[in-house]
Amino acid sequence: MPYYGQPVGTDWEEVGFGFNRDVLTDLLRGRLGFDGIVCTDWGLLTDAPVFDELFPPAPGVPST
């Protein structure tokens, strides 16, 4: 499970691993051949407004 850390001082974009396309797609799927489901964090965007839309909490997670 990728998490909130981010690659620093690498060729990858310095954004959190849960949002990092290069790490998730190129490294994990392309180079390492992983073809399963990647769950970065079920509640990563819980209760966070994104483009004026408020995402509902994940099942079992109380809203804030």
Give the list of residues 6+ apart from residue 3 with CB closer than 8 angstroms, or none: 16, 17, 18, 40, 41
CA gap 16, 31 in Å, rounded: 20
Residue of 26, 35, 41, 52 marked catalytic: 41
Q: Is 47 designated active site?
A: no
Catalytic residue numbers?
Answer: 41
